Chain A
Amino acid sequence: MVEHRRFGNLLPHLVLIAGVIVVAFPVYLAVIASTHDNSVIANGQMPLYPGQHALETYWHTIVSGTGRTTREPVGSMLLSSFIMAVGIAAGKIAISIISAYAIVFFSFPFRMTAFWAIFITLMLPVEVRIFPTYKITSDLHMLDSYSGLILPLIASATATLLFRQFFMTVPKELVEASKMDGAGPIRFFFDTLLPLSVTNIAALFVILFIYGWNQYLWPLLITTRDDMQTIVIGIKKIIDVKDALTEWSVAMATAVLAMLPPVAVVVLLQRLFVKGLIETEK
C-alpha cells in the first residue's frame, strides 16, 4: 500500500484465490453433478468436468418429477418460493414505508408508543416463538395459504427503522415547499418522498427477497400441501428418501435451481445490495 514491495501483491492474490476456490467449489460440484447420470455419481467416480445428461436431469427435475417419489416437480416449488419471496419483500416494504412516514411526518397521540411497539419486534426472531405463532396462524385458518406463509414473517421492524432513518434526513424545506404548493400529505408522499426513496426501496427489496427465498423453518411448518412447498424445503425431501438411493443428480439440479435466483439477484445488484446490507445493520 505504502512502500514498494516486489512480491507485495502475490500474497493477496494467493489468499483470495484460495478463498474463491473454497467458496465456489461446492457450487461448482453441484453444477457438475447435475449433468451426470446417477450411476456415475453413486459409485463415487464422478469426474470434475460436465457430463452428457444435463438436459434430461433438468427436464425431470423441473417438469415431470421423477417417478420414484410422490413429490411435486421442482417447477411448482420454484413458483411457491417466488411468490413467497416477492410477497415478503413487497409486503414488508409496503407496511414499513407507510408506518415510518406516519411516525416521522405526523403528530398524533401515542406516536412514540407506536414507534417503540414496532421497534421491540426487532428483538425476537420467529424461531424463538415458533409454536405459539404456528398455533395462531392455524387458528386464523391460514395454514397452507400464501397469506400464512407471508404475513407472520413481515412483522419485524428492520425496514421501518431504515425508512425512518432515511426520512429524518429529508430536508424540512422540502416539506414546507411542498405544502406551499398546496400538496397534502398523500400527494407529498407520492410526488416527493417516494421518488426520493427509490434506491432504498430497491436495496431493501434485494435483501428481503433473499431473506424470504431462504426461509426454512416457517414454510416447513405452515405448508403441508405438496403443491405449496418451497424449493428450500423440497430439497430435503429429495435427499431424505428412506430405503432408497438418493437421486443425487436430481438433488444437485434442485440445489442449483434453488441457488440461481438469489445468487443472480446478489451478483447483478451487488452495489445496491452491499449498500442496503450495511445500512440495515448499522
Chain B
Amino acid sequence: MENRAIFSGRLLACLLVFPQLAISLIFFYWPAAQAVWQSFLVQDAFGLSTEFVWFENYVNLLKTPEYYHAIGTTFLFSLLVVFFSLAIGLLLAVMANRNIAGVQIYRTFLIVPYAVAPAVASVLFIFMFQPGLGMIARALQRNGIDWNPVLNGTHAMILIVIVSVWNQISYNFLFFLAGLQSIPKSVIEAAAIDGARPARRFWTIVFPLLSPTTFFLIVINITYAFFSTLGIIDTATEGGPNGSTSTLVYKVFLDGKAGSDLGGSAAQSVILMIIVIALTAIQFRYVEKKVHY
C-alpha cells in the first residue's frame, strides 16, 4: 500500500475498523462457515440427532436428476439473459453516443429500469402477459398462440427472460456508453479518412476497444442472472411449471424453505459459493490486468 502521512493512535484505529469487522464476522464469516459445516451433516427426520457424513450430501445431490435439470435451466436462462441484455444495451449505447438532438432525454428514459426492483418489474410483466386480460397475452391469443406461462414451461422461461433482460438493459447501457465515450475520437476519425464505412469502423475498431467493458459486463451479468433474478422468478413462476424455471439459486431457496433437507440445501449453497468465487476471481484478475495498461 502507498505511503501515507500516517496518524498514530492504535486504539482509535481499532475502534474505527471494529464495527465493520464485527458485522462481517457475525453476518458473513460465521454463516459461510456454518453452511460449509452443515453440508457435511445429515439430520434425522425429527431434527433430534445429526451425524457427520463427509461428502454424502454432495454425492446424493449429484445423483438426483432434478439437480442436473436445475443446472441446465440456469445455464439456458443465464445465456439468454446475458446475450440479449448485452446486445440491446450495446445497440442503444452506440445510438445514444451519437451527437443528436434530445439525446439526454433518451438517456434519462433508458436508465429507468435500473431503479425498478426485480420483483416489481416482474409484476409489471405478469400484468401484460396474464392470459385473458393482459394486453400482450391477448394479442398473442388473437394470433393463434395459446399463451399460458402457468402451464407451459417454455412460456414461463420466455416470461422470466423478458423481465430479467428488461430489468438489466439500463445497467449495460450505462457501462457501454461510458466505454464508448472513453474511446478517443481521433482513432475513429483516422479510420474514416482511410475510407472505412461506419459498420466496418464499429467492428474493426470500436468493438475491440470496448472488449474490457464487455468482458466486465459479462461477469456482472452472469452474477445478476444467477442471484438477482430470484425475486423475478419467485413472483412470476415460483420455479414452475414442473421445475422448468427453477434455477440453482431458486432451488437452494425452495429446498431450504421446506426445511426438510438442511444438509442437502447447504451442499447446494457451497457449490454455488465456489461458482461465485471463481467468477469473482476471474473478474479481479482481469481488472488488475486493465489497471496495468
Contact = CB atoms under 8 A, between A and B. Distances in A.
Given A44-B132, A160-B20, A214 B109 contact: no
A123 B276 contact: yes
Nearest to A220: B234
Contact of A270 (B24, B108, B121): B108
Given A16-B95, A22-B166, A155 B27 contact: yes
Identify whether the interface residues of A are mostly helix, strand, loop, or mixed.
helix
A118 interface: yes
A255 to B, nearest CB: 5
Given A121-B28, A132-B32, A132-B35, A175 B188 contact: no
A136 interface: yes
Interface string B162-192: 0000100111001100100000010011001
Nearest to A106: B13
Nearest first, the 4 closest Cβ-Cβ pairs linking A and B are: A216-B231, A214-B117, A132-B31, A102-B16
A258 to B, nearest CB: 5
A168 B20 contact: no
Contacts of A233: 119
Interface of A: 1-3, 9, 11-13, 15-17, 19-20, 22-24, 26-27, 29-30, 33, 41-44, 46, 94-96, 98-99, 101-109, 111-112, 114, 117-118, 121-125, 127-133, 135-137, 140, 151-152, 154-156, 160, 168, 172, 175-176, 179, 184-186, 188, 210, 213-217, 220, 232-233, 235-236, 239, 248, 251-252, 255, 258-259, 262-263, 265-267, 270, 273-274, 277-278, 281-282
Nearest to B278: A123
B22 to A, nearest CB: 9
Interface stretch (B3-11, B60-68, B71-79, B149-157): B3-11
B43 interface: no
B115 A210 contact: yes
A88 B3 CA distance: 32
A246 to B, nearest CB: 8
Contacts of B96: 12, 16
A181 to B, nearest CB: 13
Interface of B: 1-2, 4-10, 12-14, 16-17, 19-21, 23-24, 26-32, 34-35, 38, 88, 91-92, 95-96, 98-101, 103, 106, 108-121, 123-128, 132-135, 138, 166, 169-171, 174-175, 178, 185, 188-189, 192-193, 198, 216, 220, 223, 227, 230-231, 234-235, 249, 252-253, 256, 262, 265-266, 269, 272-273, 276-277, 280, 287
Given A26-B125, A210-B115, A258 B277 contact: no
Interface of B is mostly: helix
A89 to B, nearest CB: 14
B273 A124 contact: yes
A20 B19 contact: no
Given A26-B166, A210-B115, A41 B20 contact: no
A277 B173 CA distance: 12
A108 B10 contact: yes
Nearest to A169: B2
Given A106-B6, A122-B280, A44 B138 contact: yes
Contacts of B126: 239
Contact of B17 (A3, A33, A102): A102
Contacts of B223: 125
A216 B119 CA distance: 7
A243 B121 CA distance: 24
B108 A43 contact: no
Contacts, number: 298
A47 to B, nearest CB: 11
Contacts of B28: 121, 124, 129, 155-156
B243 to A, nearest CB: 19
A179 B96 CA distance: 48
A30 B135 CA distance: 12
B5 A176 contact: yes
A62 to B, nearest CB: 16
A136 B99 contact: no
A184 B8 CA distance: 10
B174 A274 contact: yes
Contact of B38 (A117, A132, A282): A132
A102 B5 CA distance: 12
